[in-house]
Each structure stands twice: as C-alpha cells, then as structure tokens.
C-alpha cells in the first residue's frame, strides 16, 4: 500500500475508523507502521513518556524535531504528524510558520497545534495555504494545563460544550484536515463528529469519533498510571523489567556470557 496522506485521512470519514497512536522513536514507529497504524503522532506527550517531564510545557523544538526525524526515517506507510511544542507558535506568526516548516523538513507530513481562537485559526489558514497540512486540537489542550489548574476534562458545562463545538467548527473552517478532540464528553464528541466534514480523532472522547488516538506508552502498558479511558493492548513493563533483572542476575551469577 502507498503512504497515508491528508486526502486519504479525510476520505476515511464515515468509511473506516482509524486507530492512530503516538511514537517517538524509530523502533516503535517501525513496529506501529508494520502493524498498519495509519497516522503516527510525534506528540509533545513525549515530554512525559520519554523525557521525564511532568507536563508537555518544557518540551523543546529540538527534542521533537529529532524524534520526528527518527519516526519519519522508520515509517513506510503511516502518515507522520508532528506536534508543535509549547512556545513554538505562541510568540508570533512568522516564528510559528518557520517552526512548522522545520517539522516538514524533518520529515513530518503535517503539524498539530492546540487551540481555536482567532489568532490560531488565522495561523491554521496561513499554514494550510503554504502547503503545511494542519491537524487541529480542541477540548482539553494539555499546553493550557496551567490555565486549567491541572489536566481536567473539558466541555462539562453547557457554555464550555458550546464553546468547544464552535472551536471545532472554526478550526475546520480555517482549513484543518482533521480535529483532535481530547477529554470531552462522548455526547459532545458525537455532535461535533456529525457536524464536521473532516474527521475527528478522539482521545478520551468516546467511541463515536471518526478515529482514535492512544498514547503508545499507555496502550503498551509501559506506564504505571494511565487515564481511565485507555485500553492496554500489552503489559510490557513487567516483561521488560523481568528481562533486565534476569540479565543482571545472569551476569552476576556467571551464566552470561
């Protein structure tokens, strides 16, 4: 099969639900690609999953760019989306454009950014017009963790739900080829999914979305604590720990090498 692209992701709406995930290195990206994951996100969640930060905020552009390049080198069929880290698109539109260009030059097929205010929508239009496909992200946007006072579900009040609905419509109008809906009520995600012509990709947003994200380290059981909506498709942490421990014991006991 040829490589997934923006047109195919858009065309999947109403035809086929896509199981998409994050990856941050060549090894896991190759495995996800070979398993048929259509869209791999080099998420700024790499901050928590591979860099030891407690939020996505400290992630630096050079950290994600290096991961984007590693993932892009490994995949043959998946589309690679690069998250724009905090600070790379908040401080000026020209700088945001340059940072998005750097993501594509590192091998990404598209970028993802959070939010839907008028400035962000103008940025989505500008990037899209410049040939940089944009995946939008509304609902709970982790780069706003300090404004929320923690990673909190959004859209629980009628006002919030109406705002998130408007946000989703606004980013679609601005040119986003798909919209991430994070941690919003399933009924709201269903309403948005029905109202948009582009696919919604949910995470903690129920089953009605056109596609789903899972964070790789959560779905593979590498993280001890995972959000309640996660399904673990493997339990790798004990397997990996056991392998390290047997190795240490074998060397100490003289049975290896």
Positions marked catalytic: 182
Q: Give CA–CA dist 30/78, Å, rounded.
A: 9
Count CB atoms within 10 A of the CB of residue 72. 21
Q: Give CA–CA dist 125/253, Å, rounded.
A: 63
Q: Give CA–CA dist 51/63, Å, rounded.
A: 9
Name which of 182 and 210 has its Cβ closer to ligand KIV: 182
83 in Cβ contact with 106 (< 8 Å): no
Cα 9 to Cα 38, 133, 194, 217, 249: the distances in Å are 8, 12, 16, 24, 48
> What residues numbered 169-188 form the site for ligand KIV, per CB under 6 A?
180, 182
Q: Is 215 in the site for ligand KIV (CB under 6 A)?
A: yes
Q: Is 44 in the site for ligand KIV (CB under 6 A)?
A: yes
Alpha-carbon 186 to chain mean position: 19
Name which of 61 and 248 has its Cβ closer to ligand KIV: 61
Q: Is 213 in the site for ligand KIV (CB under 6 A)?
A: yes
Beta bridge partners of 171: none
Structure tokens at 233: 């498709």
Total of residues contacting ligand KIV (CB under 6 A): 11
Part of the chain binding ligand KIV (CB under 6 A), chosen from 43-51, 66-74, 91-99, 188-196: 43-51
Q: Is 22 in the site for ligand KIV (CB under 6 A)?
A: yes
Name which of 217 and 252 has its Cβ closer to ligand KIV: 217
Alpha-carbon 173 to chain mean position: 21
Name which of 12 and 56 has its Cβ closer to ligand KIV: 56
Q: Is 43 in the site for ligand KIV (CB under 6 A)?
A: yes
Closest separation between CB of residue 41 and ligand KIV, Å?
6
Residues that bind ligand KIV (CB under 6 A): 22, 41, 43-45, 83, 180, 182, 203, 213, 215
């Amino acid at each position: 099969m040829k490589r997934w692209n923006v047109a195919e992701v858009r065309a999947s709406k109403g035809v086929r639900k896509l199981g998409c995930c994050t990856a941050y290195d060549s090894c896991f990206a190759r495995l996800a690609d070979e398993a048929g994951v259509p869209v791999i996100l080099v998420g700024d969640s790499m901050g928590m999953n591979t860099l030891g930060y407690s939020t996505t905020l400290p992630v630096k552009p050079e950290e994600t760019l290096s991961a984007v390049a590693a993932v892009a080198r490994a995949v043959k069929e998946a589309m690679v989306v690069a998250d724009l880290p905090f600070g790379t698109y908040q401080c000026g539109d020209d700088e945001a454009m340059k940072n998005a260009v750097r993501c594509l030059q590192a091998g990404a097929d598209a970028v993802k950014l959070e939010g839907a205010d008028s400035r962000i929508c103008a940025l989505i239009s500008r990037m899209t017009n410049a040939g940089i496909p944009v995946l939008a992200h509304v609902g709970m946007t982790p780069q706003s963790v300090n404004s929320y006072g923690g990673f909190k579900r959004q859209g629980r009040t009628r006002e919030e739900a109406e705002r998130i609905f408007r946000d989703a419509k606004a980013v679609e109008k601005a040119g986003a080829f798909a919209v991430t809906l994070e941690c919003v009520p399933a009924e709201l995600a269903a309403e948005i999914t029905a109202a948009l012509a582009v696919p919604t990709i949910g995470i903690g947003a129920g089953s009605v979305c056109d596609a789903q994200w899972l964070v790789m380290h959560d779905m593979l059981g590498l993280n001890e604590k995972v959000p309640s909506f996660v399904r673990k498709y493997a339990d790798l942490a004990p397997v990996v720990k056991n392998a390290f421990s047997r190795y240490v014991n074998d060397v100490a006991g003289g049975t290896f090498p």
